[in-house]
Structure 1
Amino acid sequence: MSDRDDEMMKLYSQRILALAADIPHHERLDAPDATVTKRSPLCGSTVTVDVDVEDGRITRFGQDVKACALGQASAAVFAAQAEGLTLEEARAGRDALRAMLKDEGPVPSAPFDGYAALEPARAYRNRHASILLVPDATVAALEQLADEKIAATP
C-alpha cells in the first residue's frame, strides 16, 4: 500500500463512515421558519437546511444532504447538536471547524468536539467546502431570521 493509499484509509476512517451512515435530522421540515441551500462548486456537494427558531434558539432542525462521506460526517456531527443552538453558538462552532481545517487550529470544543473525526481532512483542501456546508447553511438560515427580525422591528 502506498503512502497516498494509507492517507486515504485514514481519511475515510470507520468513524467517518459510521457518522456518514447515521445522519440525524436527515429529513426536511414542513413549513420551516428558514431554509438555506448551499453547494460546493468544486465537488458538487449540496445541502439544504431547514430550521425553526423560538426565542433565538433552534427548536427544530432538518436537512437534506447530498455530499461525499466527509460532508455527510460533518452534517451528522453538526445536526446532533443543532437543536438548542443560538446564532452565536452555531457561528462559533462553524468558525472553530473552519479554523481546524484551514488554519491547523484545535478540534472545536464541546458540543462540536465530534469534529475530531475529521481532523485528517485538513490535508485535503478540496474537501473543506463540503465539510463546511451544513454549518454554513445553518448559520445563514439563522442570520436570515435575525435580519428579518431586525427589519420587522419598528
Structure 2
Amino acid sequence: MSTDTDLIKLYSGRILALAADIPFTDRLAAPTATAKRRSPLCGSTVTVDITVQDGKITEFGQDVKACALGQAAASVVASSIIGRTRAEVELARDQLKAMLKSDAPAPEAPFDGLEVLIPARDYKNRHASIMLSLEATVDAMQQAESA
C-alpha cells in the first residue's frame, strides 16, 4: 500500500510543471484525423487531432482530461510530436509501455522526457492514463493512413 510520502514523491515538481503547461491544447479546425482514448479505470480521456503530410505530423491538437500523470505524459508527447512518423510514435508508445510494465529504460529521443514518469511504475492504476496521448496519436495516424 502506498504511503503519503510515496505519493508526494510521485507527484514531483517536474511532473506538476509539465501538467500545468501542456502544449497544443487547442483542437484543430480541419484535422486529417481525430482519435479519442479513455482509461476505463480512472475515466481519463485524451482526444487528439492531427494533420499529416508525407507521412509526418505537421499539426497537432489535443484535449486532455486526465490526472497529473496523464497530463504530464501528454505534455511531453505534444512537445515532441511535430514531424514524427507513425513508426516513431508507435516506437515511443511501445517503449513507454515497456518502461512502465517491464522496468525497461525510458523511451528514446525525442520522447526521452517521458523518463519523468518512471516513478509511476509502481502505480499500475495510473498506467492507462499515462499511455493515452501516445495511443490516441497512433490511432489517429492509422486513420490518416487509411483515408
**Which shifted more, 107-116 or 55-64?**
107-116
Please give the residue correspondences for 1:1-154 in structure 2 after superposition, counting only pairs within 5 Å: 4-148=3-147
| Equivalent residue letter for 1:103 | S
Larger radius of gyration: 1
Give the unaligned 5+ runs of structure 1.
149-154
- Structure 1 length normalisation: TM-score? 0.93
Deviating above 6 A after TM superposition, structure 1's stretches of 4 or more consecutive aligned residues are none
- Structure 2 length normalisation: TM-score? 0.97
Percent identity among equivalent residues? 60
In 1: Cα distance, 2:41 partner to 2:55 partner: 33
Q: Secondary structure at the match of 2:130?
A: helix
Q: Deviations over 1:96-143 (max 9, x none)?
A: 000000111101111111011100000000000000000000001001
| Equivalent residue letter for 1:46 | T
RMSD: 0.8
